[in-house]
Structure 1
Amino acid sequence: MTSEDVLNEFRAVGALREGHFVLSSGLHSPVFLQKNLVFMDGARCERLCRALAHKITAAIGPVDVAISPAVGGIIPGYETARHLGVPSMYVEREGGTFKLRRGFQIEPGQKVVMVEDIVTTGLSSRECIAAIQAAGGEVVAAACIVDRSGGRADVGVPLIALATLDVPAYAANALPPELAALPVEDPGSRRLGKQA
């Protein structure tokens, strides 16, 4: 599956949006990938995650477990794990820090692939990887459906992306005039609990 094939899956459901968006990272961008419109379609999600699983296996060989960050990574993490034939787990925030909870445990020596949905700066991926390592896991790679950093995001381990885009993202105080002129949308969920 090519990057264009992946983008076509997003376009087919109106999930590749243009305008002025605040991303989960807090950066502003003229492009937003509404991945939940893609993941809500079981067949579409299955196609993408099967292709990602094949790409993971081709790049690093077999793994023992797939672990994702909650909430956005749970669906693609589960579906990718299913195609890898391994258990799926996720980390979630407790006191502001990602941790394995709900009885999830990593056995000593297990090879872990961290599976994300969309990578922009790599922050949540790095936080997830740190939590996996703190729990004793050996993270052999990270994987995502879309790397929108153009390959620049450093997650601390090799990053396997099904599609790579080079989409600009700007700090709020460094917006180009054409983006600043557009109304801002904040479609993500990271800041929902922080709003009044």
Structure 2
Amino acid sequence: MTENQMKKESKTLKTEEYLDLFRKSNALLEGHFLLTSGKHSRQYMQCAQVLQYPDRAAVLAEGLADFFRDFKIQTVIGPAMGGILVAHEVAKALGVRALFTERENGIMRLRRGFMLSPGERVLVVEDVVTTGGSVREVIAVVQEMGAVPVGVGVLVDRSGGTVDFGVPQSSMLQLKIESYAAEECPLCAQGIPAIKPGSRKL
């Protein structure tokens, strides 16, 4: 069955079907990785590998959007870089606009003339969540502008469901991928160099 056929027959797939999209895209990497959270890991989910295929991105976005269809979402927002495509595709599935935040001098902000109105109902999305730090920063941006974060949607929750944002949340996949504090990393102890995955490295 093709992704297009799956999308037509069911907007919400089974977990194994979503995982299959990532496997076919070689999105699950093995090695020694330095995560955005500062922790280290043997595995890394590179969502850009699956999002490079528009049909697969649409299938994932439709599944994520389905959970939030009754939330009266007005805008979908995600952090650069990983959340940009996710926000765009989920917004397309919901028929609303998409925005993204960026870091400026290390601080998460809305730039490029993007604005949120007081009371505007916003869905925050991200590609991968480990500790949830970036998502919390986006939520703070939304709240600072007087808008209302009504939910969080992520493609891959690698915390195994332990991260709580205080609003309804949904993920396409929940994976418990082991990570280590830098000073406790067995890969560092073995002298294996760590790489920081993302747009600059992979």
Q: TM-score range by the shorter chain?
A: 0.7 to 0.9
Deviation at 1:92, TM superposition (A): 0.9
Alignment of 1:1-196 (within 5 A): 1-57=13-69, 61-175=71-185, 177=186, 180-181=189-190, 183-189=192-198
Q: Deviations over 1:74-97 (max 9, x none)?
A: 001100010011110111112211
Can you give the 5+ residue segments of structure 1 that lack an aligned partner in the other structure? none
> Does the 8 Å CA contact 1:149/1:165 hold for their aligned counterparts?
yes
State the distance in 2 between where 1:182 and 1:35 align.
27
Structure 2 counterpart of 1:93, one-letter code: R
SS where residue 179 of structure 2 aligns? coil
> Does the 8 Å CA contact 1:24/1:190 hold for their aligned counterparts?
no
Q: Percent identity?
A: 40
Can you give the 5+ residue segments of structure 2 that lack an aligned partner in the other structure? 1-12
CA change 1:179–1:30 in 2 (3 A) is farther
Q: Deviations over 1:148-190 (max 9, x none)?
A: 0011113343321111111111101112x47843734424249
Q: How many residues are paired up? A: 189
Deviation at 1:141, TM superposition (A): 0.8
> Does the 8 Å CA contact 2:132/2:163 hold for their aligned counterparts?
yes
Structure 2 counterpart of 1:188, one-letter code: P
Q: Which has the higher contact order (CA 8 A, sep 6+)?
A: 1
State the distance in 2 between where 1:104 and 1:178 align.
42
SS where residue 123 of structure 2 aligns? strand
Q: Deviations over 1:28-75 (max 9, x none)?
A: 112111111111111111111111111222xx5321110111111000
Deviation at 1:22, TM superposition (A): 1.5
> Does the 8 Å CA contact 1:2/1:163 hold for their aligned counterparts?
no
Structure-1-length-normalised TM-score = 0.88
Structure-2-length-normalised TM-score = 0.86
